[in-house]
Structure 1
Amino acid sequence: MSFEQNISKTLTELIEIHSPTGYHQEVMAYIRKELDESGISYKETVKGAILATIKGESEEGRLFSAHVDTLGAMVKSIKGKGSLEFMLLGGYMYNTLESENCWIRTSQGKLISGTVQTNKPSVHIDGGDARSLERKQQTMEVIIDEKVHSVDDVKALGISVGDFIFIEPKLRILPNGFIKSRYLDDKASVSILLEAMKTLKKEKLHKTLHFFISNYEEVGHGAKAALPENLTEFIAVDMGAPGNDQNSSEYKVNICAKDSSGPYDYEMRRSLEMLCEEENIPYATDIYPFYGSDASAALGAGYDIRTALIGPGVFASHGYERTHMESMKATFDLIVSYAKK
């Protein structure tokens, strides 16, 4: 199969597995299966992340990371009328959730259908308030698609406080290369890394390569522990963020010069940029003022490493996101080229 076919297949399978931060068992089982079938060695950390390794001639290590945890929600309380108050997992914007289908996962593993609504969802009843209502935790709720009218009715379904809520991703892969879905942050990058590992396994490598599949990035501590010894370089593969006044692109690999944690290693950044220029890989360098990565988390934990951040351009981050296959391919090409240096 072509790169586009492989990526489409892997991304579809990843998106279909619910993995809000804190709920990672099923998606990590998928990652382990992919690595087993590819003959790539790995270990699982105590927190449940996966560290895969491809040995090179040197013990000196270079690590690529991507995170498989996504945004989500959790049941905060059961309301008297039988709807659910919820709290966010990660940095959703409430307005992007309105009218979305969802599933409540009970502790017994049952999935119950629901819809995210405001508590004033009808213009025929609530008039202008339905339009002007501020979208926030206190005004949003999940309406359960069952005949429930009380707290006891909801509890009888097996729903309780602390249950995870999965928001429908709505994946669309279009013939012209556009990809639309929730959770392209960062499952787009995970699918790229899995493809890169399969390619690099066949290469004679100078440096040992590590691939860290993180499961707590969205809450800031994904790569704060369990990194391998002899590591000198950490390259986070996460979304670039096109938008107003930004230089990033949905059609290039994006290289971050600085985010909210500070500047990334200048020499690494220049090496990545020059490699793109030498190999005609389309790229854009950018700064993200409201952004942090697993690489910056590792620095915050005290690791003495050089760091960089690259990734496909993902428009409307933390909402209904969009990227393009050209950006996915450019990111893949840069990872493979840099890994062989």
Structure 2
Amino acid sequence: MSSHMDFIKEQLYALTAIPSPSGFTKKATDYLLSELTALGFTPERSRKGNVFVTLGGSGSPLVLAAHVDTLGAMVRSIKENGRLRPTTLGGHQWSTADGENCTIHTRDGKVYTGVVLNTEPSAHVADQKVEQIEKHMEILLDENVDSREGTLALGIQTGDIIAMDPRTVVTESGYIKSRFLDDKLSAAILLGLAHAVKEDGLKLNRKVSLLFTVYEEVGHGGSFVAEDTEEMISVDMGCVGADLGCTERMVSICAKDSGGPYNYDLVTALSTIAKEQGLDYAIDIYPHYGSDVEATLRAGYDIRHGLIGPGVYASHNYERSHMDGVRNTFELLKTYVTQ
């Protein structure tokens, strides 16, 4: 495995280890600022919280965007028995989190551990299975509390963040298993591209910048970009599932999602490069998907737009990808910005 792939894998472990549900992303962006600065670049963080950095080049400005905010939850209320009632951040599916360990982050900096369970989780007690929907879910704290007053005394309150454990693993065979591969895997790939620009002295064929957004999961991460942007590619997860050609070992190029078609010429150019370079790729349509770059278009920017990413199975669940998909995505991006 190349040094760039090793670097991307290290970045994935580091990024997934930082809890960053939408609205609680400062530690993740602090990390991005530190890493990009260490590579010799000059990143900036906007008032909104997005991180922007130019890698070099001139003319026809291109922005490559990934997001570091994730699904998660927030304390909606504290129940009389001291347990937490949650409310969703992003398109969280509670059925995938039943039994998951989590952390609760208070506004004064305390961190508590807990577990997500439905209100009747025991097979030896329940008369019937409880539907795993938000109103039936609760967070049990790993603390000796059994009343609302006891939980409040810990400093926990409404509005505190609930982050699920990522459980990141990369197997010997190259499979990547983790929560939040959407989109920390592609954020790691963009850091890998920055690493390649520094280490290999890549000659960029235009002005190339990276944008790491922090509100993608709630729909407005990419709603503001640099004024000179002419082209923007969201580097997000590629969908894997029924009626799709992409696998976890491919780079996916999206032709259309729930927001409509992507720029025809850009999709053609990306797929032509993938074919010429012998990369394993698929052009697919995602029926239930929206990306940062569509938020950019809706904000009124006159840009060409595209969407690519490594294939990720079981999205918004405990997700799975493969280092081959990472390599194919990285090589497509590297070729596109240098050829």
Q: Same fold (TM over 0.5)?
A: yes
Partner of 1:10: 11
Secondary structure of the residue that 1:125 maps to in structure 2? coil
Shift of 1:178: 0.2
TM-score, structure 2 normalization:
0.97
Shift of 1:45: 1.2
Distance (whole Å) between structure 1 residues aligned to residue 135 and residue 51 of structure 2: 37
Which of 268, 288, 297 is 1:270 aligned to?
A: 268
Shift of 1:281: 1.2
Distance (whole Å) between structure 2 residues aligned to residue 206 and residue 178 of structure 1: 33
Task: Please show how residues 276-295 of structure 1 align to structure 2 within 5 Å.
Answer: 276-295=274-293
Partner of 1:188: 185
Secondary structure of the residue that 2:34 maps to in structure 1? helix
Deviates most, 316-325 or 42-51: 42-51
Task: Please show how residues 325-340 of structure 1 align to structure 2 within 5 Å.
Answer: 325-340=323-338
Secondary structure of the residue that 1:285 maps to in structure 2? strand
Shift of 1:55: 2.7
Partner of 2:54: 53
Whether 1:222 and 2:214 are equivalent positions in the alignment is: no
> Which amino acid is 2:275 matched to?
E
> Which amino acid is 2:181 matched to?
L
Distance (whole Å) between structure 1 residues aligned to residue 113 and residue 125 of structure 2: 25
Contact 2:64 2:233 in 1 (8 A): yes
Distance (whole Å) between structure 1 residues aligned to residue 195 and residue 10 of structure 2: 15
> Which amino acid is 1:337 matched to?
T
Secondary structure of the residue that 1:295 maps to in structure 2? helix
Distance (whole Å) between structure 2 residues aligned to residue 244 and residue 55 of structure 1: 40
Contact 1:200 1:336 in 2 (8 A): no
Deviates most, 38-47 or 17-26: 38-47
Deviations 1:266-320 (A, max 9, x none): 0000000000111111111100011000111101111000000000001000000
Secondary structure of the residue that 2:209 maps to in structure 1? strand
Partner of 2:165: 168
Secondary structure of the residue that 2:91 maps to in structure 1? coil
Partner of 1:318: 316
Task: Please show how residues 197-216 of structure 1 align to structure 2 within 5 Å.
Answer: 197-201=194-198, 202-216=201-215
Change (3 A) 1:299 1:152: same
Partner of 2:176: 179
> Which amino acid is 1:205 matched to?
L
Partner of 1:134: 131
Please provide the CA RMSD for this pair: 1.1
Distance (whole Å) between structure 2 residues aligned to residue 57 and residue 74 of structure 1: 43
Shift of 1:103: 1.0
Shift of 1:230: 2.3
Shift of 1:2: 2.2
Deviations 1:94-147 (A, max 9, x none): 1101011111111111111111111111122212x1x3x211111110011111
> Which amino acid is 2:34 matched to?
K
Aligned residues: 336
Structure 1 moving runs of 4+ over 6 Å: none
Partner of 1:92: 92
> Which amino acid is 1:160 matched to?
Q
Unaligned runs of 5+ in 1: none
Distance (whole Å) between structure 2 residues aligned to residue 242 and residue 137 of structure 1: 26
